[in-house]
Amino acid sequence: MNKGQLNLQDNFLNQVRKENVMVTVYLVSGVQLKGHVRAFDSFTILLESPGKPAQLVYKHAMASVVPSKNVHVATTREESAEAEEKPVALQEESIQSVAAISSTEEPIQVGS
């Protein structure tokens, strides 16, 4: 792994845990588990579903983890540090600025 890269798996799981995003875990057997990631380590994920006891799921039994909404996952250490340092208000302001610029530009015509 490059010095500037993060562990993508840990970063993704930590982000869905911090944002309390509901996930669907598909097991290699075809079983679907839905819940919130409460904790994880190198080999397991603790998945909590409303009204049910928490489940310790072994990663080797998992095929994929699908979040119920988009989750931004930093792929470099610099990107991760920037996201933690930058206040949410500034992020929203940047998005609004880009939207304002995009809406004032003329459409680009391709071809003739």
Buried b (16+ CB within 10 A) or exposed e, 76-86: eeeeeeeeeee
Sheet with 22-27, strands from edge to edge, namely: 55-58, 44-48, 32-40, 22-27, 62-67
Structure confidence by residue, pLDDT tens digits, 52-93 = 999 999 999 999 999 999 998 887 766 656 656 555 444 455
pTM tops 0.75? no
End-to-end alpha-carbon separation of the chain, Å? 47
Do 101 and 45 touch, CB atoms closer than 8 A? no
Q: Specify the fold of 8-75.
A: SH3 type barrels. (2.30.30)
Does an H or E element contain 97, and which?
Answer: helix 88-104
Structure confidence by residue, pLDDT tens digits, 17-27 = 999 999 999 99
**In the chain, % of residues over pLDDT 90:** 57
